[in-house]
Structure 1
Amino acid sequence: MMETGFRPAPWCRNPHLQTVVAGLLRRPPAVTLTVDTIELADGDFLDVSISTWPAGPGAPVALILAGINGGPESPYVRGIVAAFAACGIRSAVMHYRGLARPNRLPETFHSGRTEDIAAIVAYLAERFPDAPRVAVGYSLGGNMLLKYLGERGDNSALAAAAAVSVPFDLAACAEALRYGLRRGYQRYLLSGLKAMAHAKQANATLPLADIDWSRLTTFASFDDYVTAPLNGFDGAADYYARVSCAPFLSAIQTPTLIAHARDDPFMVPAVIPGQHALSSAIRLELTDHGGHVGFVGGRSPWRPCYWLEQRIPKFMAERLSCPSGR
């Protein structure tokens, strides 16, 4: 466990400001992505957006897992795609099952659906057979990625990984979001999940009846009535216990960077794992400030610096032995 070199912008030290500036107010860089559709063995499908550059056959490829409701249009996703391109790494952004468009099966994406990560990793290995692979996960995507790495051990098929602002204990994080200003984040994120569910209803792939959507005002209630029954869990508590990544950290053998801010407004500091819970392959870098997937630096609000887009490519470049471009 190490302190990072990150210093928050003087004008952006507040954790909520860090979170909102990076997640909502930022004008993301322009990147060009094309969508591939992967047919799955269970009869469903996954989409993945792949950057058109770098185009070399041996260029490394980074699988990117966004936060809840996130995807290729998210500012932080576009930022890391551009940063990776600058150091010769191609990006592949995962679309979560049922989020961008209704999927065929009743199941939805959730915080522990690591079989979908495995499917895309296998697809990338087939499409780019000469390319080393890495992965980056943000928030919910970080939880999924760390769980996947722990489950796979030395068979992850990834050369390196990074996870940012991870909700290591989903029950504790869901509880934290019920109070104070955090409720605003919960309301915003739940609106996206409800929109996904309504789209599945309209597409006749949501086999749930008599749901009073107005009463689903917390993550726990939504997961009790929607996520758990659709995906084979016995309620929200069972879901959180089975898919939280914390119990899987000690089994990770892929070189992994975890970047986390102690002031992350989506959770409480108690969820941050101690060194005893981490495998020797994990480098946990903590900072006092940074918010949730924020880490905004720079002296001027007109020229902000997004530290993650320096740190993550540098970490990957060191493992891939390619120029970092930084």
Structure 2
Amino acid sequence: MTARLDLSASHAPLWLPNGHSQTIYSATLAHYHRIAFLRQRVETPDGDFLDFDWSGPGLFPRRDPEGAPPAHDGLLPKGAALRWMQPSDWDKLPTLGHPPALVLFHGLEGGSGSHYAQSISQYFRARGWIVVVPHFRGCSGAPNRLARAYHSGDSQEIGFILDTLRTALPQARWHAAGISLGGNALLKYLGEQGQAASWLQACAGISVPLDLLAAGEHLSENRFNRYVYGNLFIRTLKRKVMQKAQWFPGVIDIMRVTQARHLRDFDDAYTAPMHGFENAHDYWARSSSKQFLPAITVPTLVLNARNDPFLPEAILPGPSEASDAVLLHQPADGGHGGFPSGNFPCHLNWLPQRLARFFDTQD
């Protein structure tokens, strides 16, 4: 059996004529409702931690469970999470009738404050869903404890996060979505797990760099992509890794990291060797989620704009390259992780509405 293919439009504004303008405007100027979270810190088996940001019915980030304004906590970095989860907060989450819940995996250097996380979380929270945005290591505003960080193919980390959430709220009807890097790791996990992931109601991968070799070369070799997008990522990644180099002397090749000009150089110098790969090529080849699409059994939406500047249109999968559990939606417009729509100044409602329509058809 083959996947279904949907080429229907995402209704991008005419005054945002291409993937670059749609991507950049969505990330910087588009309107969306902002949402605040409560934070939970989860210890990992290897002695590190992950920060989960929660929202949902009964949770009120701007006051503590007793109704008072939250006290300032110096351990909580400034961001979309306003206070730590308290034991009594868990009692306020809905437990009857198998409440719907969504876990949203962010993209490279993203988090719960990212425009896509904010718009999606607010939309589903308003529908009465429980929403949690787990941060990959070092992305919550607090540096993680180990020399390692996170990467596009870390399906083991995805599994740990999903198992933690399922244990925390076993009565919920869990759905999962991932943007860009987070979507790649999620789709890889779904393909590896097959039927073992069937406890998930439905999943979605959004603006996923399905072929990391093609995407990595496109970001590294295309001059505009390298200077606009690549440099944005490289600056924050280098800063984090140089801090790690001070804590773990001799573990990181500081010279190569410092000289990295684009993502391929950075992945060659740090991401690949730190996470068990030979080089960037090996990392990209083994971590690409496109090769795992035929093994997915959970109903899954794979949404990629054909004008996504991070990914050449030519490598988008066709129906024969994914299982019949997959719906490939490939609108002509949308950019990367944005999908702006509406009249000026436009909004980001199309993406969460598209996710909701897909999830509703699977429940």
List alignment gaps of at least 5 residues for structure 1.
Answer: 321-326
Q: Is the contact between residue 242 and residue 254 of structure 2 (CA under 8 Å) also seen in structure 1?
A: no
1:9 is matched by which residue type in structure 2?
P
1:85 maps onto 2:125 in alignment:
yes
Once residues 37 and 205 of structure 2 are traced to their aligned partners in structure 1, the CA distance between those partners, rounded to angstroms, is 22
* 1:205 Cα deviation after fit: 7.8
- Residue 277 of structure 2 is aligned with which of 233, 238, 247? 233
Q: TM-score, normalised by structure 1?
A: 0.93
Residue 65 (structure 1) aligns with: 105
Per the alignment, do residues 308 and 213 of structure 1 end up closer, same or farther by CA in structure 2, a change over 3 Å counting? same
Residue 111 (structure 1) aligns with: 152
- Residue 306 of structure 2 is aligned with which of 252, 262, 266? 262
2:137 is paired with a residue whose SS is coil
Residue 274 (structure 1) aligns with: 318
Per the alignment, do residues 254 and 213 of structure 1 end up closer, same or farther by CA in structure 2, a change over 3 Å counting? same
| 1:40-88 superposed Cα distances (whole Å, 9 cap, x missing partner) | 2222221111114363123221110111000011011010001111222
* 1:159 Cα deviation after fit: 1.1
Residue 361 (structure 2) aligns with: 318
- Residue 202 of structure 2 is aligned with which of 152, 160, 185? 160
1:53 is paired with a residue whose SS is coil
1:137 is matched by which residue type in structure 2?
G
Once residues 52 and 32 of structure 1 are traced to their aligned partners in structure 2, the CA distance between those partners, rounded to angstroms, is 10
Per the alignment, do residues 301 and 199 of structure 1 end up closer, same or farther by CA in structure 2, a change over 3 Å counting? farther
| 1:228-278 superposed Cα distances (whole Å, 9 cap, x missing partner) | 111111011111111110110000000001111111111211220121110
Larger displacement relative to structure 2 (111-120 or 195-204):
195-204
| Residue pairs, 1:74-223, within 5 angstroms | 74-100=114-140, 101-156=142-197, 157-177=199-219, 178-183=221-226, 184-204=228-248, 207-223=251-267
Kindly, what percent of the aligned residue pairs are identical?
36
Per the alignment, do residues 291 and 206 of structure 1 end up closer, same or farther by CA in structure 2, a change over 3 Å counting? farther
Q: Is the contact between residue 112 and residue 147 of structure 1 (CA under 8 Å) also seen in structure 2?
A: yes
Equivalent pairs, count: 319
Residue 324 (structure 1) aligns with: none
1:292 is matched by which residue type in structure 2?
H
Larger radius of gyration: 2
Once residues 27 and 201 of structure 1 are traced to their aligned partners in structure 2, the CA distance between those partners, rounded to angstroms, is 39
- Residue 52 of structure 2 is aligned with which of 48, 58, 64? 48
1:295 maps onto 2:339 in alignment:
yes
Once residues 212 and 237 of structure 1 are traced to their aligned partners in structure 2, the CA distance between those partners, rounded to angstroms, is 16
* 1:210 Cα deviation after fit: 3.9
Q: Is the contact between residue 160 and residue 256 of structure 1 (CA under 8 Å) also seen in structure 2?
A: yes
Residue 11 (structure 1) aligns with: 15
Once residues 239 and 98 of structure 1 are traced to their aligned partners in structure 2, the CA distance between those partners, rounded to angstroms, is 20
* 1:304 Cα deviation after fit: 2.8
Residue 243 (structure 1) aligns with: 287
| Residue pairs, 1:20-39, within 5 angstroms | 20-39=24-43
| 1:114-164 superposed Cα distances (whole Å, 9 cap, x missing partner) | 111111111111111210111111111111110010011011131100111
Once residues 142 and 302 of structure 1 are traced to their aligned partners in structure 2, the CA distance between those partners, rounded to angstroms, is 28
* 1:90 Cα deviation after fit: 1.1
Larger displacement relative to structure 2 (120-129 or 23-32):
23-32
1:296 is matched by which residue type in structure 2?
P
List alignment gaps of at least 5 residues for structure 2.
Answer: 59-92
| 1:163-206 superposed Cα distances (whole Å, 9 cap, x missing partner) | 11111111111111121321211111111211221232344488
Per the alignment, do residues 210 and 17 of structure 1 end up closer, same or farther by CA in structure 2, a change over 3 Å counting? closer
Residue 80 (structure 2) aligns with: none
Q: Is the contact between residue 28 and residue 76 of structure 1 (CA under 8 Å) also seen in structure 2?
A: no
Per the alignment, do residues 85 and 210 of structure 1 end up closer, same or farther by CA in structure 2, a change over 3 Å counting? closer
Larger displacement relative to structure 2 (203-212 or 179-188):
203-212
Once residues 294 and 314 of structure 1 are traced to their aligned partners in structure 2, the CA distance between those partners, rounded to angstroms, is 17
* 1:305 Cα deviation after fit: 4.7
Larger displacement relative to structure 2 (108-117 or 45-54):
45-54
* 1:36 Cα deviation after fit: 1.0
Larger displacement relative to structure 2 (166-175 or 93-102):
93-102
| 1:269-291 superposed Cα distances (whole Å, 9 cap, x missing partner) | 12201211100000001111111
2:355 is matched by which residue type in structure 1?
I
- RMSD of aligned Cα (Å): 1.7
